[in-house]
Structure 1
Amino acid sequence: MRIYAVTPIHVDVEELARRQARYAALAPPGVEVVLHDIGPAAPRALDTDAQVRASEALVIEALKGAPYDFDALLPDCVLDPGVAHLAGTLPVPVFGLLRLSLGWSVLTGRKSAAVARNKAIADEIVARAAVYGWSAELLGVAVLDLDVHAIADDARWADALGGVVGTLATSGARDVINGCSAVDLPDGMDLPARVVDPTALALRLIGAGR
């Protein structure tokens, strides 16, 4: 299965290559993700609701214009921009990282929470969960207060994450969805709830179901 993916923000060549390498490392046998930058008209960060909305419109446009030789489409974003809008309207599936990862927690009966880089992203995760009908299963979204450069800084992200997972676990969360598609977390983090890499989990589910 070949999946056409597009970034939600405009990234430089180095960041695009880092994200592509991450997909290559995480994709199971038989699944290939080909990542494309959304282009310079897009925001360079999702820090405000206006940027989230602008990104979503551009992702929808990009996915509608994807080449026909791909088996599925994927926004490279845990906010699932365009997924609900495009579902069932195109000849190939449109996968959503949040839809798959949160959906797995719902199907397995595990209460979930999430973390997000900033409030705009946190608010959109809550809104997406409501669209999917899973508001009751998402116990909350903690804000890490990180800038966009922290996405590629594994240690900085992990430090911020470690400070909030305990609070989310106390609220009843067994799964904590890491609210970014492109963050690599260090192995061996000893935390009181399972931290879910939404990209890794989504790719495993896609591979199992293809």
Structure 2
Amino acid sequence: MLTWLTRDSLTFPPLEKALHDPNGLLAAGGDLSPERLVQAYRHGCFPWYSDGQPILWWSPDPRTVLFPGELHVSRSLAKLLRQGRYQVSFDRDFAAVIDACAAPRDYADGTWITQTMRDAYCELHRRGFAHSVEVRQDGELVGGLYGLAMGQLFFGESMFSRADNASKVGFVTLVEHLREAGFVLIDCQMPTNHLHSLGARAISRAEFAGYLAGHLDQPNSASWVC
């Protein structure tokens, strides 16, 4: 039975109670307050829903993750990185990145990044939890991604690209930055060919929960001034 959350409690049900069909649906309701969102990621779930739906909270099994040491950079991508065609920065324009991620795409109808979702993650950015990666070409924003950093874990949320491989350049730059800062895992949530090509793979929900328990409260040396 699906758990319905109230606005009075930040407690989520155990991950083991997530539905098998649809895979990983854990709870519905509640709100997108900064406190609830932080608790959700710490618990191992994330919000994903469309306009007109209640807030839905997910913890899929298996979970798609990338270990920084397993990052795969193809020869063509490595060549592109050496060329310096794109310029990458962190936290220069979080709002522009999330707006670009929410923009319509040729392969999808609508967006799950509602205005309420946008406002909530912008607030997390102001509080130091959410971070953005901007990829520019000749000063124009052509790619990027955003997510949350907690302890030695990074929780990726969404990415976009308006130029060839721009999002991959941003992602590779981020992964290398996180590896140097002591991060042990990047949560990619759901599988895509794009992520698998970069080295992402599936682990069980139980294994993912183990990383949460072991690394959420460990220090990192990441600097987001770039």
Same fold (TM over 0.5): no
By percentage of residues, which structure has more helix?
1
Of structures 1 and 2, the larger Rg is shown by: 2
With normalisation by structure 1, the TM-score equals 0.28
